[in-house]
Amino acid sequence: MAYISFIIQRVPNFVKEWVFYNTFEEAFGDVEVKLDIHIKTDTRTNFDFQMLFVHISTDEPSEELIEFKKRLNEEGEVWIYYDDIHYFKTKKIIKKTQKRIISKKDMEEIKNSFKKTQISKPVEQAEDVEKTENAEQVGDVAEEVG
């Protein structure tokens, strides 16, 4: 069984779910398509858009699907038309290489870095307050002299 998963990071909200199914079935033949659709909001425009994780499986992969999978692995991004002028930018899903479980040594280093950050901030803030108070005292003395 051939299986491929990829991401489409940004699709306008007006594109309906059936469009995705039709597009991939037309492009790759007899395939089973599963979609994980997530609605996101663009922080600049405040408009919603769709982000999709697409999972395609088939018992007999077509030449087009084999070519798509090859190009996606080599190039990282492949465009697919879903109508005459509009297309999806499909991208390879990159797996995280970072370990999930943190070692005791790394945990201690992280804790110590937090402690240093928490200690230095109050000291810096105290120094700022002290500088401000000194400036106010100098201003008061100047008024008394003047």
Nearest-5° angle of CA 121, CA 127, CA 133?
135
Low-confidence ranges of the chain (pLDDT < 70): 97-98, 117-146
Domain segments of the chain as ranges: 2-92, 101-146
pLDDT score, position 93 = 85
Reading phi first (left if > 0) and then psi (alpha if -120 to 50, else beta), residue 4 is in beta
Amino acid at 67: E
pLDDT score, position 130 = 56
pTM check: above 0.85: no
Residues 28-64 have pLDDT tens digits of 989 999 999 999 999 999 999 999 999 999 999 999 9
